[in-house]
Amino acid sequence: MEHTVESDLFERDHLEFGRTVAEFVKRHVEPNLERWDRDRLIDRDTWRAAGKQGLLGLAVPEEYGGPGETDYRFRVAVQLEIGKAGAAALQSGFSTNDDIVLNYLLRHADHEQKQRWLPGFLTGDTIGAIAMTEPGAGSDLRGIETTAVPDGDDWVLNGSKTFITSGILADLVIVFAKTGERGFSLFVVEEGMAGFSRGRKLDKIGLHAQDTAELFFDNVRVPAGNLLGEVGAGLDYLKRSLPLERLGIAIAGQASAEAVLGWTLDYTRERTAFGRRIADFQVLAHQLAELRTAIEVSRSYLDRCVREWNKGTLSAADAAKAKFWATDLQGRVVDTAVQMHGGYGYMMEYPVAKAFVDARIQRIYGGTNEIMKEIVQKDLIGRP
Ligand SMILES: Cc1cc2nc3c(=O)[nH]c(=O)nc-3n(C[C@H](O)[C@H](O)[C@H](O)COP(=O)(O)OP(=O)(O)OC[C@H]3O[C@@H](n4cnc5c(N)ncnc54)[C@H](O)[C@@H]3O)c2cc1C
């Protein structure tokens, strides 16, 4: 049964687009979910199929062959439909491409770079990654040790990154590196550059289908034409783009929470114990009522954030609130949902179990929820 959460975010075009996404999910996602988890990888054909359906690279401008659709509600439609199928790894892969990597390229790449890189984001031929985190520095990105040193027309890149989403498949990686006294800068490292290698596919407790990996840079000569934007502006670029990354994570969390609560409502209305539906036990009924209320309230706030993003007025603090709020709620929903499914909730063949393990990372990546509260408190109180 559908348990749609009230929202007036979408107009006719978004609803229609949502139906196209739903069709894609039915044909290309649902039949492959288990295999992707087993393979620890989502195959490239899925990306290309999504490209063919017009689900990727929506924001690529017309002059580079795209629809130039900057209304973020279409991205929300993609995330919600994929979330309904419980395909969290695909959500995070697509979000890394469209909300993060593409966003950096649109903002900071020059015309020649856009001509080179943007078309692949439309067709699904280019899988992108963002490499900020290192073994020794995650929350505190100023502590990174990867360096880029100028040498003739090139930059020589040395260092390593870890926990990189799409790290195994990525054709294009935006690398955050130290550029000496000139601060931090962003470089685009491409598949095939000498000295660029990938480590093992990391073994995670959830998001099994996501190819999270370590990346190594050993004297990689990065041509000057692969520097993104200005030297020394890297940290500023991150600050400007992280709000969209966080909004994307919040929406993925909301999508999962809505889907999981729906499955749980269905389950608790069917399962019986002591001669009645388990949903009729007041303890469960009240928990369901609370979660549904929290989900509706959360959706209203996220809808507002999406509208703010479209207007260009979403603040870093509001995006941080959205991220920690929606992902904390997602955590509460999946945990309660597993409990209400009893032993079946612990079985991976039940989607609720997969949603449970997939959800845990949401409070960690994109900036931990503690860091989100730091951003909010700085805006509110200004404590250093
Ligand atoms: C599956 C997965 C995918 C990821 N994808 C990417 C990716 O694509 N690209 C990328 O660059 N990174 C990625 N990451 C990395 C992720 O963003 C970091 O793991 C995260 O930012 C935390 O950094 P850390 O692991 O170094 O933890 P730490 O920074 O060491 O934090 C450890 C703990 O200390 C807390 N803490 C730290 N500082 C403070 C503070 N000031 N106040 C309060 N608490 C604090 C943290 O909240 C956390 O609980 C991914 C991680 C995973 C697991």
Could you report the per-residue pLDDT of 77-99, keeping only the tens digit for each? 999 999 999 999 999 999 999 99
- Rounded CA gap, 162 and 183, in Å? 21
Quick one: three-class SS letters along 249-313? HHHHHHHHHHHHHHHHHHHHHHCEECCEEHHHCHHHHHHHHHHHHHHHHHHHHHHHHHHHHHHCC
Cβ contacts of residue 217 below 8 Å, gap of 6+?
146, 157, 158, 159, 160, 161, 175, 189, 195, 196
Name the DSSP class of 134: B
In which band, very low, low, confident or very high, does the pLDDT at 243 lie, cut at 50, 70 and 90? Answer: very high
Residue 6 per-residue DSSP state: P
Instruction: Reply yes or no on whether the pLDDT at 166 is more than 70.
Output: yes
Evaluate if residue 27 carries a pLDDT over 70: yes
Residue 354 scores a pLDDT above 90: yes
Backbone region of residue 234 per phi and psi (left: phi > 0; alpha: psi in -120 to 50; beta: other values): alpha
In this prediction, residue 211 has a pLDDT band, given cuts at 50, 70 and 90, of very high
What local confidence, expressed as pLDDT, does residue 327 receive? Answer: 98
For ligand 1, the distance from its centroid to the CA atom of residue 115, given in whole angstroms, is 33
Output the pLDDT for position 32: 97
* pLDDT computed for residue 75 by the predictor: 97
Cβ-proximal residues to 16 (8 Å cutoff; 6+ apart), any chain: none
**How many angstroms does the Cα of residue 370 sit away from the middle of ligand 1?**
10
- Whether 66 and 60 have beta carbons less than 8 Å apart is answered as yes
Q: Would you state the pLDDT for residue 342? A: 98
Q: State residue 55's pLDDT score.
A: 97
Backbone angles phi, psi at 124, to 5 degrees: 85, 5
Percent of the residues in the chain that have a pLDDT greater than 90, as a whole number: 97
Distance 167 CA to ligand 1 centre (A): 16
Q: Is the pLDDT of residue 130 over 70?
A: yes
At residue 186, does pLDDT exceed 70?
yes
Dig out the tokens for 84 from the structure: 């309904």
Index of the ligand 1 atom closest to the CA of residue 134: 26
Residue 41 pLDDT exceeds 80: yes
Tokens of 282: 């007041």
Q: What average pLDDT does this structure show over 148-162?
A: 97
Return the pLDDT at 383: 83
pLDDT in tens, 298-341: 999 999 999 999 999 999 999 999 999 999 999 999 999 999 99
DSSP state of 360: G
Mutate to test the pocket of ligand 1, among 163, 246, 324 (most ligand atoms within 8 A of CB): 163
Distance, CA 364 to ligand 1 centroid (Å)? 6
Q: What is the mean pLDDT of the chain?
A: 97
Residue-wise pLDDT tens digits, 267-302? 999 999 999 999 999 999 999 999 999 999 999 999
Q: How many CA atoms are closer than 13 Å to the CA of 116, on its beta-carbon side?
A: 13
Among the atoms of ligand 1, which is closest to the Cα of residue 204? 1
Per-residue pLDDT at 1: 67
d(CA 271, CA 59): 45
Which residues line ligand 1 at a C-beta cut-off of 6 Å? 96, 129-133, 138-139, 163-165, 204, 207, 212, 361, 364-365, 367-368, 370-371, 374
Q: Which is the closest atom of ligand 1 to the Cα of 161?
A: 11
- HSE, CB side, 13 Å, CA atoms: give it for residue 301: 20
Tokens for 198? Answer: 């990938």
Q: Which two tokens stand for residue 74?
A: 């279409």
Q: What amino acid positions are annotated as catalytic residues?
A: 245
Q: How confident is the model at residue 182 (pLDDT cuts 50, 70, 90)?
A: confident
Ligand 1, atom 29: nearest CA belongs to which residue?
139
